[in-house]
Chains A and B, each alone.
Chain A
Amino acid sequence: GAGVSQSPSNKVTEKGKDVELRCDPISGHTALYWYRQRLGQGLEFLIYFQGNSAPDKSGLPSDRFSAERTGESVSTLTIQRTQQEDSAVYLCASSSATANYGYTFGSGTRLTVV
């Protein structure tokens, strides 16, 4: 597509429930990134996919967080047993192999855990 698409745009969930967030990158972009942005804070790196290589999971805050990506297509970020501190905007970005120009971001998913 023309841009990075994320769904849903907003998600309200009850504490303890699982949620799944979706990211559809720009066609042809081999790299895909997930970041978290808490209210009033900067972006926190979560996970990075590059083609068929093993993902860099070094930013995932706990084992409740996981992400998948099949090839160079859609990615899903799953948060199990959600906690109130998981409330944030989850941003996805993609880039081409060279990535000299940085990323293209989606509009994000605003997750609220009540």
Chain B
Amino acid sequence: AQSVAQPEDQVNVAEGNPLTVKCTYSVSGNPYLFWYVQYPNRGLQFLLKYITGDNLVKGSYGFEAEFNKSQTSFHLKKPSALVSDSALYFCAVRPGSARQLTFGSGTQLTVLP
């Protein structure tokens, strides 16, 4: 069975600094990997995905993520954080053979002005 780990419940970063939100996964076969963001009292919004191809994936709002097969990681990054990036971030995975996504427990990102 597939699983996703987000080792940090909370990440704090100063505005203008780079940010990283960590994600590692376990899945059989080739993974499809996703990042979603959830703002308060809102549903999840798609940020970016990795299906195949370049390991560095660029997504919405200046976010990017790097797929690292040897480390089974898919960390979310942004070069310069904004206060408006403060939200709950979820990593998700599904093997190519399955349809439902398995989500991590989420990481609360707080960008301090």
Q: Let me know if B44 is at the binding interface, CB within 8 A.
A: yes
Enumerate chain B residues within 8 angstroms of A31, measured Cβ to Cβ: 99
Mark the stretch among B12-20, B45-53, B67-75, B77-85 that contacts chain A.
Answer: B45-53
Q: Does B34 contact A (CB under 8 A)?
A: yes
Give every chain A residue within 8 A of B45 (Cβ-Cβ): 105
A25 interface residue (CB < 8 Å to B): no
Which residue of A has the minimal Cβ distance to B46?
A: A102
User: How does the 8 Å CB contact mask read for A103-114 relative to B, with 1 for contact and 0 for none?
Assistant: 111111000000
Give the interface size bracket for A toward B: 20 to 34
List the A side residues contacting B103 at CB < 8 Å.
Answer: 35, 42-43
Bound CA–CA A102/B32 (angstroms): 9
Q: Which residues of A are interface residues toward B (Cβ below 8 A)?
A: 4, 31, 33, 35, 41-43, 45, 48, 50, 56, 59, 91, 93, 99-108
Please determine whether A102 and B43 come into contact, CB atoms closer than 8 angstroms: no
The residues of A that contact B25 with a CB separation of less than 8 Å are none
Size band of the B side of the interface? 20 to 34
Chain B's nearest CB lies how many Å from the CB of A39?
A: 11
**What residues of B have a CB within 8 angstroms of the CB of A107 in the complex?**
41-43
Alpha-carbon separation in the docked complex, A100 to B30 (Å): 13
Q: Roughly how many angstroms separate A105 CA and B44 CA in the complex, as a whole number?
A: 6
> In this assembly, does B105 line the interface, its C-beta being within 8 Å of a C-beta of chain A?
yes
Known: A31-B99, A101-B46. 16 other contacts (CB 8 A): A4-B43, A42-B90, A43-B90, A45-B101, A50-B99, A99-B99, A100-B51, A101-B49, A102-B36, A102-B46, A103-B44, A103-B46, A103-B101, A107-B41, A107-B42, A107-B43
Does B106 sit within 8 A of A, measured CB to CB?
yes
> Please, how many angstroms separate the alpha-carbon atoms of A45 and B41 in the complex?
19
Chain B residues closer than 8 Å to A33, beta-carbon distance: 100-101
**Would you call B92 an interface residue if the criterion is a C-beta within 8 Å of the partner chain's C-beta atoms?**
yes
Report how far A35 CA is from B34 CA in the complex, Å.
Answer: 16
Nearest Cβ in chain B — how far from A34, in angstroms?
A: 10
Name the residue on B nearest A31 (C-beta): B99
